[in-house]
Amino acid sequence: MSSKKVLSGAAAIIMVLLISMLIINGCARKTVSTGKAATYVGSAKCKECHEKLYEGWRSTMHPYKFMDALPENVVADFDKNNTFTAGDYTTKMSRKGDEFFITTIGKDNKEDTYKVKYLIGSVWKQRFVTEFPNGGLHTLPVQWNAATGGWVDYHGLKEHKPGDGKYWSDKTMTYQFNCTGCHNTGSEFTYDTATDTFKDTKWADKGVSCEACHGPGSNHIKAEGEELARTIVNPAKIFDPRRAAMVCGQCHTRGKSTGKLFDFQNPEYPVGYKPGGLLTFIFEEKPGVNPDGGTSRQHHQQYIDWEKSTHAQTGVKCWDCHYTHRQGTSNRYQTKLPGSLLCKNCHIDVEKTGVHGIHSTNNCIGCHMAPAAKSATPGDIHNHSFKVMSPHETIKLGKDQPNSCNLCHYHKDDKPEDLAKILDDIKSKGWSGKKDKKAYKTQ
């Protein structure tokens, strides 16, 4: 291709982008009564007119991602099971009245006692944030795993040393640069490179709230009539399914911003993204993957998985399966229907033949959304490419490569080779029910 063609191709793409950006963002700016770009107002304001949605949202996990370190929010054990040893050093957790402390090795290799100011999470795991005198928020190096009820190394203690850039107390490791964009809504801070100080760290909401998915609402709350819809983003009305799913994908992804903030660091969340906009140019995806190079090994990569799926191609989006603020209380994963019923609601014609005839109960999720990635413990996060992870890959790449079948058939006698053979036989000969069941006996 000649360089001219490339250029005109790029220009055409930019034109399309500009036009679509105008459609999505521009109208809002032009027509609002105030004429000003919208700012964040916080969920309490939205509640004034959308009370039922507000209550529905409060019953999901999104509001509670980042909390003050109050006794009612702490799920970790600071009283009895309250030490963690790495090498020959033991980190200690303690409590005085309603305050929580962690004693560990920090800056300059010195032991110190840090007051926990904020908490992150509670479902899979909980982490603890402290504030340094320069205003930098740092995530302390131990983590509480909810399912197993124990302390583990989060960042630093085993693999890193103070000053190597990856140790929890290093200046590159602040909550402001590495976390806030995905765990708070409408966050702001300033950073002075010369003195290494943070100022005015704040957010419109501590957790993931209305405006994270609908965009800043200051113009909307003053709007009337037709302007009501023009001043706020309804993700369901974003025409292109990929751009629509980016509303969720701004956080359910992994990588780095392409632009630097304060000339210093490329934050690990997409700086400058607003619902309705594009992630493509402002964020570089860097997923943590299995040996096959494609399937997710780490958590918060649901959007990256989804992009590869037939669902993405055909426009089945996150909220076709998940709700974000329905009335009534929420289930753990915010799914619209439980288990396989969710899939069967659309896939009404999956017959119990071939591979779908193996099991007495057809657990779609077990095979098509294998719990193969890790948040706190291996296998607590589901594959969102909806592709079956085959035992053939495990045979090819070794034990480190998980597969859908062995995640249930995990007994040592359930060899990937035997499970792969079942799949091959089904492909060539079909599945003849009972007879084949005898040939392969689960342990």
Residues 307-336 that bind ligand HEC (CB under 6 A): 310-311, 314, 316, 318-325, 332-335
Q: Which stretch binds ligand HEC (CB under 6 A): 22-30, 72-80, 193-201, 220-228?
A: 220-228
The interface mask with ligand HEC, positions 136-175, x = CB under 6 A, is: ---x------------------------------------
Verify binding: residue 83, ligand HEC, rule CB under 6 A: no
Burial class (CB in 10 A: 0-12, 13-18, 19+), 119: buried
Restricted to residues 248-267, the positions that interact with ligand HEC (CB under 6 A) are 248-254
**365 counts as binding ligand HEC under rule CB under 6 A:** yes
Separation of alpha carbons 135 and 175, rounded Å? 11
Contact flag: residue 75 with ligand HEC (CB under 6 A):
no
Of 117 and 322, the one with the shorter C-beta distance to ligand HEC is: 322
In the sheet that holds 111-115, the strands lie side by side as: 83-86, 89-96, 99-105, 111-115
* Amino acid present at 306: W
Tally Cβ neighbours within 10 Å of residue 61: 15
Could you give the CA distance from residue 276 to residue 22 in angstroms, rounded to a whole number?
10
Stretch binding ligand HEC (CB under 6 A), from 20-28, 71-79, 188-196, 242-250? 242-250
Binding mask 34-53 for ligand HEC (x = CB under 6 A): -------x-x-xx-xxx--x
Is 57 near ligand HEC (CB under 6 A)? yes
Query: What is the SS3 string spanning 276-332?
Result: CCCCCCCEEECCCECCCCCCECECCCHHHHHHCCHHHHHCCCHHHHECCCCCCCCCC
Shortest distance (Å) from residue 15 CB to ligand HEC? 26
Q: Binding to ligand HEC by residue 409, rule CB under 6 A?
A: yes
Tokens of 412: 């040592």
- Give the total of residues touching ligand HEC (CB under 6 A): 116
Closer Cβ to ligand HEC, 127 or 206, answer by number: 127
Distance CA 253, CA 295 (A): 13
Residue with tokens 């521009």: 26
Tokens coding 262:
């304060």
Using the rule CB under 6 A, is 206 a contact of ligand HEC? no
Among 346, 400, 432, 433, binds ligand HEC (CB under 6 A): 346
